[in-house]
Amino acid sequence: DIEMTQSPSSLSASVGDRVIFTCRTSQNIGNHLNWYQQKPGKAPNLLIHAASILESGVPSRFSGSGSGTDFTLTISSLQPEDFATYYCQQSDSTPPTFGQGTKVEVK
């Protein structure tokens, strides 16, 4: 299975901050990388697929980049509704695997 490593595991930030998460994979996956947001008590929600393609309805403050083994998710200006846990997932090979998540908390 492809191993996924997200960093940091948690971070404290304030509204308006620019926030960057990283995801590293144990092997080259091209651009087959997705990002999900999960709020407490809710199912995850797909934000970005193919490393950089924003899902319909996702605010433009979210952006993704990277290829190969190193990927980033950036929130350009953190909003109150963005405090959540973010997971990366590789979709290059079965089984698809997830990172352990990055939790964004209020500073």
Interface contacts to other proteins, rule CB under 8 A? 1, 32, 34, 36, 42-46, 49, 87, 89, 91, 94-101
Least CB distance to other proteins at residue 75 (A): 20
Least CB distance to other proteins at residue 25 (A): 14
* Long-range contacts, stretch 81-84, CB < 8 angstroms, 24+ apart: 82/19, 82/37, 84/37, 84/38, 84/39, 84/40
> Residue 69 or 76: which CB sits closer to other proteins?
69
For residue 92, give the 3-state DSSP assignment.
coil
Least CB distance to other proteins at residue 77 (A): 26
